[in-house]
Chains A and B, each alone.
Chain A
Amino acid sequence: MDFGGRDMISIRDLTKEEIEHMLGTAEGMELSPPGDILRGKTLATLFFEPSTRTRISFEAAMQRLGGKTIGFSGAGTASVAKGESLTDTIRTVERYSDAIAIRHPRDGAARLSAEVSSKPVINAGDGANQHPTQTLLDLYTIKREKGRLDVEVALVGDLKYGRTVHSLAYALAMFGAHLTLTSPKGLEMPREVISDLQKFGPRVAKEDDLAEVASKVEVLYVTRIQKERFPDPEEYERVRGTYKITMETLRNARENLIILHPLPRVDEIAAEVDGTRYAKYFDQVYYGLPVRMAILGLLMGAV
């Protein structure tokens, strides 16, 4: 399977076999690091909006493979402030780099960049649309922890605006996972996203009682509930307690339950849960490294 020269824009572009191949490559990178396979290569990280975690993860992955990074972070930076078009910025940067990782506030910015760039473009988050490397690392975490992807998963929290849960739900459905959706009223998963899953014929259920959900599933994927999504602050205060994972929520949890979260968290998961065997959200961060190493290696044709 040859990924050399390809872009990584949306999980929708990938087949099941391609995802499996990427996850397999990531596992190889984690268990036996390949050394400096990207020596002499440069990754440009263009962060038109800041995301320290994602940027550091890409830079660390590049360094592990012997490569270098250049780039900028924040909307106030040079070309953006001068009003240069995105496509001009890409055409300039591609001359200095072997691949481009872009984070941008507009939906579709990464796809447009890939249209004009002759070098591989990696979407590190485009507005509310996609963040495929996050989705792959979520899948990788589940695969590493559970040994398979056709698991019973509950997606918890803001399923309306939460970008990561939309593409994760899509990918999990592709692999035959059983999805349970748990969200506050008004933050349910959009109908369009659910109808998009239907082509994979998934089993999708809704369940409001968090303790009940925790007693049934193997994976709890928890997302942030942001205050600004609620027109009524009182409603936020009410919901916030209800959707918080505590030891009480987990009293009947399945033995083999794991809890994931894309981080950063606000208070969706109580600190008391951190020390339990269920908590895997910090391991999830660690798994991001081999996944991004695999993506960089594959797209730059080194593996």
Chain B
Amino acid sequence: MVEEVKVRKIKDGTVIDHITSGEALNVLKILGIPKDYPKTPVTVAMNVLSAKVDSKDIVKVEGRELKAEEVDKIALIAPRATINIIRGFKVVEKKKVSIPETIEGVLRCANPNCVTHFEEVRSRFVVEERSPIKLRCYFCEKVMRGEEIVRQF
């Protein structure tokens, strides 16, 4: 395997690789960095040349393994991302993110007149297209795309 980027290896944590170029900072936003985790050591590489895709971003987060909900959110903006869990400098788990058929509870509908803002009900979106992402609110049928989704993180 060719080591594509010269950034230092981490001991324990998560490497998020193959992030859609330009989305690294949005991934940090999803992970609450630096807002909720001001002290977490993070390494960010952007617009890295890659063999598989034109270019990609990489985020390395030390001392943290991601929650399923965080992984689901990352999938929305970086559908080709891979999550590598690192323990003792070794990759112990490697998985691809995946976008489910429907997304419940994670997002708010961008339509201000949507019934979900007025009644006690979990939001629900049907995934119509994956890359780039296109969601349709199950209730009001309005479409949400990249920018409207990212703004919520």
A residues with a Cβ closer than 8 A to B are 10, 12, 85-87, 104-109, 111-112, 115, 126-130, 192, 196
B111 within 8 A of A: yes
Per the CB 8 Å criterion, the residue count for chain B at the interface is 16
The answer to whether A106 and B118 have CB atoms under 8 Å apart is yes
The listed residue (A87, A112, A128) touching B139 by CB distance below 8 A is A112
Among the 9-residue stretches B14-22, B87-95, B140-148, the one with 4 or more Cβ atoms under 8 Å from chain A is B140-148
Set of chain A residues within 8 Å of B111, measured between Cβ atoms: 107
> How far apart sit A237 and B63, CA to CA, in the bound complex (Å)?
65
Nearest chain B CB to A257 CB, angstrom units: 32
The answer to whether A129 and B141 have CB atoms under 8 Å apart is yes
The answer to whether A127 and B143 have CB atoms under 8 Å apart is no
The answer to whether A129 and B140 have CB atoms under 8 Å apart is yes
The answer to whether B118 and A107 have CB atoms under 8 Å apart is no
Q: A105-B113, A111-B115, A127-B113 given. 17 additional CB < 8 A pairs? A: A12-B141, A86-B118, A87-B119, A104-B115, A106-B113, A107-B114, A107-B140, A107-B142, A108-B114, A109-B115, A112-B119, A112-B121, A112-B139, A127-B115, A129-B140, A129-B141, A196-B143
The answer to whether B120 and A108 have CB atoms under 8 Å apart is no
The answer to whether B141 and A127 have CB atoms under 8 Å apart is no
> How far apart sit A243 and B122, CA to CA, in the bound complex (Å)?
43
A-B interface pairs (CB < 8 A), number: 56
The listed residue (B121, B139, B143) touching A107 by CB distance below 8 A is B139
Set of chain A residues within 8 Å of B114, measured between Cβ atoms: 106-108
Q: Which of B97-153 contact A (CB under 8 A)?
A: 111, 113-116, 118-121, 137-143
The listed residue (B120, B139, B141) touching A85 by CB distance below 8 A is B120
> How far apart sit A10 and B137, CA to CA, in the bound complex (Å)?
13
B residues with a Cβ closer than 8 A to A are 111, 113-116, 118-121, 137-143
Set of chain A residues within 8 Å of B139, measured between Cβ atoms: 107-108, 111-112
Nearest chain A CB to B115 CB, angstrom units: 4
Set of chain A residues within 8 Å of B121, measured between Cβ atoms: 87, 112, 115
The answer to whether B141 and A107 have CB atoms under 8 Å apart is yes
The answer to whether A108 and B143 have CB atoms under 8 Å apart is no
- Give the 6 A-B CB pairs with smallest separation, nearest first: A108-B139, A107-B140, A108-B140, A108-B115, A106-B115, A109-B115
> How far apart sit A115 and B137, CA to CA, in the bound complex (Å)?
14
The answer to whether B115 and A10 have CB atoms under 8 Å apart is no
Nearest chain A CB to B133 CB, angstrom units: 14
The listed residue (A86, A87, A108, A109) touching B137 by CB distance below 8 A is A108
Set of chain B residues within 8 Å of A12, measured between Cβ atoms: 141
| Closest residue of B by beta carbon distance from A85 | B119
| Closest residue of B by beta carbon distance from A111 | B139
Set of chain B residues within 8 Å of A127, measured between Cβ atoms: 113, 115, 140
> How far apart sit A10 and B121, CA to CA, in the bound complex (Å)?
19
| Closest residue of B by beta carbon distance from A167 | B141
Set of chain A residues within 8 Å of B137, measured between Cβ atoms: 108
| Closest residue of B by beta carbon distance from A107 | B140
Set of chain B residues within 8 Å of A111, measured between Cβ atoms: 115, 138-140
The answer to whether A128 and B113 have CB atoms under 8 Å apart is yes
The answer to whether A86 and B115 have CB atoms under 8 Å apart is yes
A/B interface sample: 14 pairs, CB < 8 A: A12-B141, A85-B120, A86-B115, A104-B115, A106-B118, A107-B111, A108-B137, A108-B139, A111-B139, A112-B115, A112-B139, A115-B121, A126-B140, A127-B140
